[in-house]
Structure 1
Amino acid sequence: MAAEVRHGDAASVLRAMPAASVDMIYLDPPFGTQVDWVGKAGRFSDKFKWDDESKSLWAQMTSAHPVLASILEGATVAPRDRAYLVRMVLLFAELRRVLHPAGTLWLHCDDTMSAYLRLALDGVFGIERAMGGVIWKRTNAHNTARSFGRVHDSIFVYGLTRAAKWRLHRTRHPLIQGDPCEGAVVVDGFIDKLFLNPTSKERVGYPTQKPVALLEQFIAAATMAGDVVLDPTCGSGTTLVAATKMGRRAIGIDASADACAVARRRLAEMESETNGKACRESGKGSRRPRRAGSVGDLFEPAPHDERYRNQQTTRHAVSAGFYQEAAD
């Protein structure tokens, strides 16, 4: 399949994936709001508590990232927020491992815990590997009597090497003709025209759903056709839908069974619609269009189909000389 959904804890599922196996990571995780989110198609909990499991995870983080653990230890946050942050740090560590040297990670969050999440990313990836980000105005202003309205989200972008910066460089300048990354892809640092209004046909009834068009912009900037896009907190599957539509392969993971069911249904509906359209255009109703290689192969260290291996060779060649750890 061009897209796959896996149910389970993201960090645990990621351990079964080989290192440097995905080209882009986008995640829109729980924001640490301490709220249970409920929609017609499902629900998920954004509540965390400081318990024995959290203490055990904190010990793991302290061993792997002692400086970061020391900084977070001194942060003036509630114990439940520490329970949230330690899980995010350990998730970031697994995501760093599976990210290709030329790939990028895009973290979507709001201002609830964004300062600490940015600190965690700096600790896991390195502050020198921060590549800026995007502000998305997700709704119109609705200031309350006691505070400013929360109307925007932040997307932080990180890469491991100069190759990652080089790949995103095409968002500003078109490259030479025939280059695999040819062409300028425009991504504004401030996006304010991509709303998902309450009556949109795109809505599937799962809480905190994002617009497909928003993900298409990010995916276009960060990847090429055939690349692998990972969303470790995929929710209703918007990232997977956008990636598949654009000719990328996609992996989605979510701890919510409701989310996985919705994501699989959306992918199945899109595949059915695509197959029906292809059959109508070809006039051969019994023939199914060919698929790209399976993303299921990514859970094994073996290489993929010949088409993908050729593309990997090209991708490695154009990035040669840029795989230094310091992202100058």
Structure 2
Amino acid sequence: MAKKKASKSKKTTPKAVSAGKPSALVDTRVIYCGDNLDQLKNFPDGCVDLIYIDPPFNSNRNYEVFWGETKEKRSFEDRHASTQAYIEFMRPRCVELHRVLKKTGSFYYHCDWHASHYVKIMLDQIFGENSFENEIVWKRTSAHADTHGFGHIHDIIFRYSNGKKPTFNIELKEYSQSYLEGYFKHTDEYVDTRGKFRINDLTGSGLRNGETGKTWRGFDPSKIGKGRHWMRTPEDLEKLVAEGRIYFPSKGGVPSLKRYVNELKGQPIDSIWDDIPSLTTFSSAAKESLGYPTQKPLALLDRIIKASSNPNDIVLDAFCGCGTALVSAENLGRQWIGIDISPTACRVMAKRLRDVCGMREDEKLWRIGRGFIVRDLPWTLEQLSKIPPFEFENWAVIALGGIPNKAQVGDMGIDGRIYPVSATPKKKEGELDFMDVWYPIQVKQKEKTGRPDIDSFEAVMMREDRTKGFFVSFDFSDGAMSEIQSFFKKSGKSIIPLTVKDILDEQIAYKLA
């Protein structure tokens, strides 16, 4: 194994660390929009240091979420009707991921109980059984009711290496309060500075012929039990006595080593991770949530990236969803690459990098190693006319700086909302803070929106009592434009018609998504 470093794990998000010079092997700080199998084939061999993927689980569930998962290739109900289909989908992608991983690199595959055993067999075949390093159990929740058996409250994360000396930095976590209170009970004259102490054995099993096998202060280690030896030389033991670190039992038993609570550096993290809560409503990390049901907490990715990479190493997430791995990598001073098939997810990632990390999506800045870019988004009229309707709605709403409606049906004629900068949070008794001032957005993936569509949107604005609304389409008929003017004269409420060409020409999506 590579030289190990110890670092104490913290639950707080670290300040962003400035990453060094970008890699000469592959472009970094790039989000690629498209099928990761196609994108990965363009990468050179052995170009990334750490890969983390959280692909859709074979759970036969549909998530109607931020970017319409039911309409994308990641949907299990459409793409992975069986475990075999899931493995066939993942195998060529994992082969490519193995190819682009450096010999000092590590690969983390996040999954759950539905297909983890099949995934393990597949990864053994691709990476080799001897490259398997860990099966990490992440306890994501404390309780889950299941009438058919024991509740499923954990995920599995498989860790594989790609060589004999993978990068691995030992991380430490705080000891539990129950452990500290249960074992550190003794006090002495150093309690004010060192805290309470517990006693540990000063001997190890087996006989030794050297210094550690000699009699010390009348105690012959070879006669203790079946034969033991001192853990330190007699000279070092005397130094510990002088420092008050040896405990001598009042009844003359074998001396022991004092371990003080205030001097503990931390407990090495093992393969059971029960100290990182998921992004539930009751979690302290819930403020990170973007509304994506399988979004993972930053603390989880921070732990993985700290353990298996060093500053300026390249981190790749080929199913990056809402971009948690990218945010973590940027905060920790790593280079990163993200891939996702969803255009909306890519825009959400870009917005998150700007909002959370303070990065700028700028080609010129990216070329000098400061900004980031998004590649292969559908930016032409023809491309946008062919993407799924819910994807198109999300693209348009986010392009205007709005928040998409999560529902595909029953949205009450509102595809998204824009909250103006001047809006201030208000609060009603018994309710959470919310923005009372907002403008509705209606989106139609039509060649030409007609008057009936405008009539319907007028009803929405009257029902919601909004003074302004936005309507996005590829074009508007003369009747639609006439009705917009008539509605303003009658009600004083404004409908702003925007064509897709308007958005593209003004680069609104680039600036506000």
Under a length normalisation based on structure 1, what TM-score does the superposition of the two structures give?
0.67
Q: Cα–Cα, structure 1 residues 34 and 168, in superposed 2: closer, same or farther, change >3 Å?
A: same
Identify the residue that residue 139 of structure 2 maps to in structure 1: 137
Matched, 1:31 2:67: no
Q: Structure 1: which amino acid aligns with 2:39?
A: V
**More divergent stretch after superposition (117-126 vs 135-144):** 135-144
Q: Structure 1: which amino acid aligns with 2:38?
A: S
- Whether contact under 8 Å (1:42, 1:206) holds in the other structure is no
Identify the residue that residue 168 of structure 2 maps to in structure 1: 168
Matched, 1:194 2:276: yes
- Whether contact under 8 Å (1:41, 1:205) holds in the other structure is no
Q: Structure 1: which amino acid aligns with 2:164?
A: R
Q: Cα–Cα, structure 1 residues 136 and 114, in superposed 2: closer, same or farther, change >3 Å?
A: same
Rg larger in structure: 2
Q: Distance in 1 between matches of 2:316 and 2:267?
A: 20
CA RMSD of aligned residues (A): 2.8
**Structure 1 segment 106-255 matched on structure 2, within 5 A:** 106-164=108-166, 167-168=167-168, 170-171=170-171, 186-195=268-277, 196-198=279-281, 200-255=286-341
Q: What is the DSSP-based 3-state SS (H/G/I as helix, E as strand, rest coil) of the residue aligned with 2:280?
A: coil
Q: Cα–Cα, structure 1 residues 91 and 189, in superposed 2: closer, same or farther, change >3 Å?
A: same
Matched, 1:94 2:96: yes
Q: Distance in 2 between matches of 1:293 and 1:185?
A: 37
Q: Distance in 1 between matches of 2:41 and 2:272?
A: 35
Q: What is the DSSP-based 3-state SS (H/G/I as helix, E as strand, rest coil) of the residue aligned with 1:83?
A: helix
Q: What is the DSSP-based 3-state SS (H/G/I as helix, E as strand, rest coil) of the residue aligned with 1:124?
A: helix
Q: Structure 1: which amino acid aligns with 2:168?
A: L
- How many positions carry a matched residue from both structures? 243
User: Which has more helix, going by share of residues?
Assistant: 1
Matched, 1:46 2:128: no
Q: Deviations over 1:72-116 (max 9, x none)?
A: xxxxxxx73211111111111000000001000000000000000
* Deviation, structure 1 residue 235: 0.7
- Whether contact under 8 Å (2:113, 2:155) holds in the other structure is yes
* Deviation, structure 1 residue 42: 4.4
Q: Deviations over 1:264-309 (max 9, x none)?
A: 110121243x78xxxxxxxxxxxx999747888xxxxxxxxxxxxx
Matched, 1:20 2:27: no
- Whether contact under 8 Å (1:42, 1:207) holds in the other structure is no
Q: Cα–Cα, structure 1 residues 185 and 239, in superposed 2: closer, same or farther, change >3 Å?
A: farther
Structure 1: gaps spanning 5 or more residues: 51-78, 173-183, 276-287, 297-328
Q: Distance in 2 between matches of 1:186 and 1:210?
A: 22
Q: Structure 1: which amino acid aligns with 2:287?
A: K
* Deviation, structure 1 residue 259: 1.9
Q: Which structure has the higher relative contact order (CA within 8 Å, separation 6+)?
A: 1
Q: Cα–Cα, structure 1 residues 233 and 289, in superposed 2: closer, same or farther, change >3 Å?
A: closer
Q: Deviations over 1:149-169 (max 9, x none)?
A: 2110011000111111xx226
- Whether contact under 8 Å (2:104, 2:161) holds in the other structure is yes
Q: Cα–Cα, structure 1 residues 191 and 170, in superposed 2: closer, same or farther, change >3 Å?
A: closer
Q: Distance in 2 between matches of 1:11 and 1:190?
A: 32
Q: Distance in 2 between matches of 1:235 and 1:295?
A: 17
Q: Structure 2: which amino acid aligns with 1:248?
A: R
The percentage of aligned residue pairs carrying the same residue is: 36
Q: What is the DSSP-based 3-state SS (H/G/I as helix, E as strand, rest coil) of the residue aligned with 1:101?
A: strand
Q: What is the DSSP-based 3-state SS (H/G/I as helix, E as strand, rest coil) of the residue aligned with 1:221?
A: helix
Q: What is the DSSP-based 3-state SS (H/G/I as helix, E as strand, rest coil) of the residue aligned with 2:148?
A: coil
2:350 to 264, 267, 281: 264
- Whether contact under 8 Å (2:67, 2:342) holds in the other structure is no
* Deviation >6 Å, runs of 4+: 288-291, 293-296
Q: Deviations over 1:11-51 (max 9, x none)?
A: 1110011110000000000111122212245435123558x
Q: Structure 2: which amino acid aligns with 1:11?
A: L
Q: Cα–Cα, structure 1 residues 239 and 169, in superposed 2: closer, same or farther, change >3 Å?
A: closer
* Deviation, structure 1 residue 133: 2.8
Structure 2: gaps spanning 5 or more residues: 1-21, 23-27, 173-265, 374-513
Q: Distance in 1 between matches of 2:291 and 2:144?
A: 22
Identify the residue that residue 86 of structure 2 maps to in structure 1: 84
**More divergent stretch after superposition (198-207 vs 130-139):** 198-207
Q: What is the DSSP-based 3-state SS (H/G/I as helix, E as strand, rest coil) of the residue aligned with 1:38?
A: coil
Identify the residue that residue 175 of structure 2 maps to in structure 1: none
- Whether contact under 8 Å (1:42, 1:259) holds in the other structure is no
Identify the residue that residue 503 of structure 2 maps to in structure 1: none
* Deviation, structure 1 residue 198: 2.3
- Whether contact under 8 Å (1:48, 1:83) holds in the other structure is no
Q: Distance in 2 between matches of 1:248 and 1:130?
A: 24
